[in-house]
Amino acid sequence: MNDSLLDENLRQIRDSVLKLCAGFGDAYWMEHDRTAEFPETFYRAIADAGWLGIAMPEQYGGAGLGIVEAAVLMQAIAESGAAMSGASAVHMNIFGLQPVVVFGSDEQKQRMLPPLLQGREKACFAVTEPDAGLNTTQIKTMAKREGDRYVVSGSKIWTSTAQVADKVLLLARTRYCQRAIFPIFAQLKRHFIANISHSAYLISAAEYDLTFLAPPDRSACYALPPPLF
């Protein structure tokens, strides 16, 4: 990255992250790539330094900064040699919790955000589906209201870090609509955050030899039979 494009605050973020990442050299990442193990020590170091909450509100334990600062953080992690192994280990807790910040109640934010920002819990983001890919207008995972909870059914794939996550931020629809008109569909889809029961919901986790610095925990398929909540 060209440092001349960064102001002093961004340079300080970049330099601090690169200094932290210097403790995790090529041998560390090659070993975790070879074993497909989650880089727990690296994750813990990032969490303990407070970087997981860089773009989250201060009242929930974040730094109250923005997406630009978070992007500089992630670029520095990748540049350090961690590449996607390091970036995939932390990006969900850094970027993926914005729906909770924007749409969650005060009680939900207070309950959900601090454990994730402190690194006591890990989250994953379940969007991609076998038939729809990332075309969210075509997702089929359904969340049906039953009393005071939702029952979810459907399938998700390529859910990075799902094997180690404690929470899943799940994109599902609440009713069917035959035509894929995005402005309408935006009103039919909701985000849900829930606990993961690995023994109940992990269907398969195929291993792929990606040779160099593969993302951790490459989950091929997560199925979501009811009840999830």
- The pLDDT of residue 15: 96
CA–CA distance, 184 with 182 (Å, rounded to integer): 5
CB neighbour burial string for 20-30, b if at least 16 within 10 angstroms, e if fewer? bbeebeeebbe
Dihedral angle computed from the Cα positions of residues 138, 181, 99 and 163, in that order, rounded to the nearest 10 degrees: 0
Which one-letter amino acid corresponds to residue 55?
A
Q: How far, in Å, are 22, 52, 53, 125 from residue 114 at the CA level?
A: 27, 10, 9, 18
Predicted pLDDT at 76: 96
Alpha-carbon gap, residue 146 to 85, rounded angstroms: 39
Identify residue 102 by its one-letter amino acid code.
V
Q: Decide: residue 4, CB within 10 A, 0-12 exposed, 13-18 middle, 19+ buried.
A: exposed
Given this structure, which CATH class describes domain 3-101?
mainly alpha
Q: What is the CA radius of gyration of the chain?
A: 18
* Domain ranges (residues) in the chain: 3-101, 122-223
Residuewise pLDDT in 10s, the chain (229 residues) = 666 678 999 999 999 999 999 999 999 999 998 998 999 999 999 999 999 999 999 999 999 999 999 999 999 999 999 998 999 999 988 988 888 898 888 999 999 999 999 999 999 888 899 988 888 888 888 888 889 888 888 888 888 888 888 888 888 888 876 544 333 333 344 556 666 655 444 444 444 444 344 445 544 444 444 433 3
The encoded tokens of residue 153 equal 């059914």
Instruction: Quote the tokens at residue 151.
Output: 């029952």
pLDDT of residue 163: 85
The residues pairing with 144 across neighbouring beta strands, listed in sequence order, are 151
Ranges assigned E (strand) in 4-141: 123-126
The CATH number, out of the four listed (1.10.357.10, 2.30.30.240, 3.90.1580.10, 2.40.110.10), of the domain defined by the range 122-223? 2.40.110.10
pLDDT score, position 115: 94
86 secondary structure, DSSP code: H
DSSP 33-55: HHHT---HHHHHHHHHTTGGGTT
185 residue type, one letter: F
Q: What's the pLDDT at 178?
A: 56
Of 85, 100, 218, the C-alpha closest to 167 is 100
